[in-house]
Amino acid sequence: MWAVQPSASLDAWLYQADPVAGCDGCARAMRRLAGAEKAGDQTGRYEASRDVRAHPDHPAGPSRAGER
């Protein structure tokens, strides 16, 4: 069986979360992220991190878009 492992940089980006201080949506997503990390839920980690990066109430910037 073939398995493709993501690179370390892709893995880091997928799970990157840069919450905005004082934002309730970010705080909820970060709690979900912590729970998913504790449970070993990779999909949950990705989804919570994605929600922080793409939060609709925040302007798109490098940390939100994942661009450097």
Residue range 22-57, pLDDT digits in tens: 888 899 999 999 999 999 998 999 999 999 888 766
pLDDT over 80 (residue 68): no
Residues with Cβ within 8 Å of residue 19, at least 6 apart in sequence: 26, 27, 29, 30, 52
pLDDT digits (tens, 9 = 90+) for 3-18: 556 566 667 777 788 8
Supply the pLDDT for residue 32. 95
pTM attached to this predicted model? 0.67
